[in-house]
Amino acid sequence: MKKLSVIAFGGNALLKSGQKGTIDEQEQNVYETCQHLVPLIQSGYDIVIGHGNGPQVGNVMLQHEAGYKEYALPKQPIDFCVAETQGSIGFMIEQQLRNVLAEHGIERNIVCLVTQVVVDKEDSAFKNPTKPVGPFYSKGEADKLAADNGWVFHEDPRKRGWRRVVASPRPVDIPNWQAVEKLAREGSIVITVGGGGIPAYVEESGKIVGIDAVIDKDLASSLLANKIRADEFCILTDVPNVFINFHKPGEQKLEKVSVPEIQKHLADGQFTEGSMAPKVRACIEFVEHGGSEAIITEAEQLGKPGAGTVIHG
């Protein structure tokens, strides 16, 4: 049986720091990221792709706000906005990956699935929003938007500005994961759980209902990787490795690290919430629930021997 890998595209795969987010910028970024998938595909891997949507979903939410204020157009809830960005980003990844594969003479079906992800509506995250969405603002701009709209803002860990934060409940189930596994193991490249999935909960009657939240894409991708029995789970980010004492005296690159070791670093506060900490937790969960190994690295390192930080049992 060929190896199956779930690869979660980080935000920089779509939008780099300092860019405005034009379609040309985003398509070029996606194209470059997809080029780095080629060696894995050529070596026979089956691939499932997840992706983030933090900047994009925040921008869509702003567009709905502006349309409501300017033209009295109905505002749509966050889950609807997540669905919009899941479709638009999935389209970009599918299109650019097709272009890349064609350049290399590779024929593979690419399937983009609009995917709901189930959460617990009583999750404590709804009382403590932490998930950054949308653009960066100055402190003054953030304060005004918070006063005008009742939004919550947190300062970026890298001091790049202030961003709106929304609830980020844990994913608990992914409908249609069996279809994802079947398609992937038959050789199709599947794009799914985009932006962490469209958040929903299940009522006692069995009815599924959308809910205002943005699910962490790494946790959703990790859950999917376990469900489809992936051999590897890889998170692509903007650094080649995980570090302890990052940008501090005694900075140290982590290469191969066991779950207990990286759990200790996590407990010691080595990884920033809203940045590396969720990625590390997602990798730990994948390995603890039966996965062989998880990798955190940048796209340029993907598939290279010894690339990235490898977390194992």
Catalogue the active-site residues.
11-12, 131, 217, 279
Beta strands in 147-303 (DSSP E): 152-155, 162-166, 171-173, 189-191, 198-202, 208-210, 232-237, 242-244, 252-254, 256-258, 293-298
Say how far residue 231 (Cα) sits from the centre of its chain. Answer: 19
What's the CA gap between 155 and 136, in Å, rounded? 9
- Angle among Cα 114, 174, 81 to the nearest 5 degrees reads 40
SS3 of 28, please?
helix
What's the CA gap between 176 and 310, in Å, rounded? 29
- Spell out the residues 6+ positions from residue 309 whose beta carbon is closer than 8 angstroms to its own: 241, 242, 253, 254, 255, 256, 257, 295, 296, 297
What's the CA gap between 135 and 137, in Å, rounded? 7
CA nearest 298: which of 234, 245, 214? 234
Beta strands in the chain (DSSP E): 4-9, 46-51, 110-112, 116-119, 131-137, 152-155, 162-166, 171-173, 189-191, 198-202, 208-210, 232-237, 242-244, 252-254, 256-258, 293-298, 309-312
The token pair that represents 252 in the structure block: 């140290």
Q: What is the per-residue burial (b if ≥16 Cβ within 10 Å, else e) of 128-163?
A: ebebbbbbbbeeeebeebeeeeebebbebeeeeebb
